[in-house]
């Protein structure tokens, strides 16, 4: 069975950046299981998987715009330490849930200069091309409930 919309897909992958650094991997762990066509994974990888079948192995480089997008400068801003009410120690690299113009988002502290805290609302992998080494483990038709909910149910599900 080929990967197409409304199919439950199970894959193993190793994710690397252009320097060859391993950023993530499902190898030696549970496979990633997702509903194809529901936007559960980055668009570039979903497009590369379309038409593949169980047993297929391939490597694909996904440009930033089809991965986590380009870096958007307007998502980086300096705010006052006062905005972190109740947090005693703030360090570069810390992440916080914040309400932004598009809704809830995760922001990362990227710089601290006295009471000025620079936060970045871009995804940590924004602006980077990503390479996936993928093995398709299984493809099946999603259940009506999974399709209605927009994600796969059960072990290894991703939602």
Ranges 71-75, 84-88, 126-130, 140-144: which has the least confidence = 84-88
Edge-to-edge strand ranges of the sheet holding 103-113: 76-80, 116-120, 103-113, 95-100
**Paired strand residues for 34:** 9
* Residue 88 CA, distance from chain mean position: 30
User: What pLDDT score was predicted for residue 104?
Assistant: 84
Fold of 7-68+126-149: Chitinase A; domain 3 (3.10.50)
CA atoms of 21 and 34, how far apart (whole Å): 25
> Model confidence over 62-83: pLDDT tens digits?
999 999 999 999 999 999 999 9
Question: Given its phi and psi angles, is residue 134 left (phi above 0), alpha (psi -120 to 50 degrees) or beta?
Answer: beta
CA 94 to the chain's CA centroid: 18
Nearest CA among 17, 6, 12, 11 for reference residue 131: 17
Instruction: Identify the pLDDT of residue 92.
Output: 96
Taking the domains of the chain in order of start, what are their residue ranges?
7-68+126-149, 73-120
Class of domain 73-120: mainly beta
Question: What pLDDT score does 12 carry?
Answer: 98
């Amino acid at each position: 069975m080929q990967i197409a919309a409304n199919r439950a897909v199970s894959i193993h992958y190793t994710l690397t950046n252009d320097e060859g650094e391993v950023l993530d991997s499902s190898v030696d762990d549970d496979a990633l299981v997702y509903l194809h066509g529901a936007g559960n994974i980055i668009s570039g990888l979903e497009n590369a998987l379309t038409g593949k079948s169980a047993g297929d192995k391939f490597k694909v480089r996904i440009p930033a715009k089809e991965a986590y997008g380009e870096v958007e400068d307007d998502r980086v801003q300096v705010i006052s330490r006062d905005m972190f009410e109740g947090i005693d120690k703030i360090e570069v690299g810390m992440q916080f849930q914040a309400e932004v113009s598009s809704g809830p988002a995760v922001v990362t502290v990227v710089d601290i200069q006295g009471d000025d805290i620079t936060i970045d609302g871009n995804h940590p992998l924004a602006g980077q091309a990503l390479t996936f080494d993928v093995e398709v483990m299984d493809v099946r038709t999603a259940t009506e409930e999974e399709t209605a909910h927009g994600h796969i149910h059960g072990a290894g599900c991703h939602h």
